[in-house]
Structure 1
């Protein structure tokens, strides 16, 4: 069984002699990152892999109005190989190449193609899916399964419709969870619990248990309770149950940012190359996958 992310080509060609000898060459790309760049045409993309050890590369260029590395495809995008627009090419070069060879409009004149094979038949399948989402709030997503049922989507502490593992402010008190985690106890990594009621501050809407919601202990109403202090004690209102501040009304106002990792997987099925390679065996193989992580910011309701 072939390794995943590898291409095993059996390329048969005759030498200058008439003895009928067959040369078999194996090319493997299993340890090579899948890269991508925009093509020269509208809605054109180029996936490619460049060998780290020898001067060879394989590329797949295609045109698609629906493909994006950051948009989920419910079903794989299926594209047939064709001349000009959707092409799979293996090339061997006289010198090492870089990504600029595929991503630059004009390749270096020092690069010469020694050998080239073109896919003449085959169908590509391109699938983009989300593999991880996390609010990066200091708590690993798997630890925000408060119900313990393995379904992160139904843990929503503050009732805002955003599950905790995607919510940077789990209790909607206008203070980021990452800020509410640290405590002042030496050699203790437990989440801070100001009122010692067994509920950590990052999951509690009234951190000091004084009857006033933390987000409403925001005297200047700027959406940040962390800059409002008792003028006499110098303590933050929202962490001091003895403060005599007057409650105000402040709505949850923080933007919420989720780190989302998208994975695009490319495979080629039913592949046939041109030239003397009729015995090419592995007609279905995977180009591999490429992960992209981006922050996505949405306004909390």
Structure 2
């Protein structure tokens, strides 16, 4: 939570309250860490509001769009500094409507006071991708060099951290018990054949000489887990007594989840009650920042 308290010798804040020279006034800006965004005809607005008392902080950037700050480069990052106008407002209303910004101000809303200041908005965007396979991305650095993009266990063109079937056996990683107790320690990952390679990285889970993806004896649907010869043992790919080969012809479709994290820092703010070189405005909260894409790797 952004909680800032400023005490200053009275410079009357418009109509917030009357005061005499020499009075000491405490202004408390108590806002959540997250902020919202909306676009006008040609402007981008970042804002946050609160009730009791009703206040808002907003940042106006002219001739700019949300799409522009989401245009990350090949490294998944974007940063820019833009001239902006910072607003602090108080309202007579006990609570504020959700449509307060980027719309005509509703008639029932009365602004008690308003202050604005020209400043610089530093915007940083980081795009993160993940397969949500039950393993933290940082733990999918198999070669330990700190670079997640060059770890591709099955060689299908998708790095393990965005590949929800790391070993390419058409059994999803999350279904191969990579972290049975969910403690983030993969030392207890399921290893059916005891060969020291956990199932989620083992192309032949039961060690019978037949690749897991080729053990589709009932139906070739890229799902070996529903091919069961002996129900007492389970799926054929985990049963070393069944070693029938039915060659796979395709990988399963993969889903990659993308999340943009946008932070804004304001530089050189100077209001009547606030002078600060740097102010952390927070993290953008917007449903458009999370999306997913589906990819089916080429089968070789």
Q: Which has the higher contact order (CA 8 A, sep 6+)?
A: 1
Q: Which residue of 1 aligns with 2:183?
A: none
Contact 1:39 1:103 in 2 (8 A): no
1:289 paired to 2:294? no
Tell whether 2:230 aligns with 1:271. no
2: CA distance, partners of 1:14 / 1:98: 21
Q: Deviations over 1:15-66 (max 9, x none)?
A: 999974466442324x513321323425x43211223542211111334146
Greater strand content:
2
- Name the stretch that deviates more: 108-117 or 227-236: 227-236
Per the normalisation by structure 2, the TM-score is 0.76
Q: 1:179 to 1:287 in 2, by over 3 A?
A: same
- Partners of 1:32 and 1:18 in 2: how far apart? 29
Structure 2 vs 1, CA of residues 235 and 17 (structure 1 numbering), >3 Å: closer, same or farther? closer
Q: Which deviations, in whole Å up to 9, do the C-alpha atoms of 1:219-270 show, x marking residues without a partner?
A: 4322111222227978422222222533223222321323x44221112223
Matches within 5 A, 1:1-301: 6=4, 8=6, 12-13=11-12, 20-21=21-22, 24-29=25-30, 31-42=31-42, 44-62=43-61, 63-65=63-65, 67=67, 70-72=70-72, 74-81=77-84, 87-98=85-96, 100-103=98-101, 105-119=103-117, 121-130=118-127, 132-181=128-177, 190-219=188-217, 220-230=219-229, 235-243=234-242, 245-258=244-257, 260-273=258-271, 277=272, 280-290=274-284, 294-301=290-297
CA contact 2:2–2:33 (8 Å) conserved in 1: no
Question: What is residue 184 of structure 2 aligned with on the other side?
Answer: none
Provide the C-alpha distance between the structure 2 equivalents of 1:99 and 1:267, rounded to a whole number of angstroms.
Answer: 26
Deviates more, 1:201-210 or 1:234-243: 234-243
Contact 1:155–1:164 (Cα < 8 Å) also in 2: yes
* Aligned mates of 2:13, 2:212 — CA distance in 1: 80
Q: Per the alignment, in what secondary structure is the counterpart of residue 100 of structure 2? A: helix
Cα separation, 2, equivalents of 1:50 and 1:77: 25
Where do 5+ consecutive residues of structure 1 fail to align?
82-86
Give the deviation of 1:169 after TM superposition.
Answer: 0.7
Task: Name the CA shift for 1:224/1:203 in 2 (closer, same or farther; >3 Å).
Answer: same
Alpha-carbon RMSD across the aligned residues, in angstroms, is 3.6
Distance 1:262 1:232, change over 3 A: closer
The size of the alignment, in residue pairs, is 281
Question: TM-score normalized by structure 1?
Answer: 0.76
Q: Is the 8 A contact 2:35 2:285 kept in 1?
A: no
Structure 2 regions of 5+ residues with no counterpart? 181-186
Cα pair 2:166 2:201 within 8 Å, conserved: yes
Give me the whole-angstrom Cα distance separating, in 1, the residues matched to 2:255 and 2:18: 69
Distance 1:163 1:183 in 2: 19
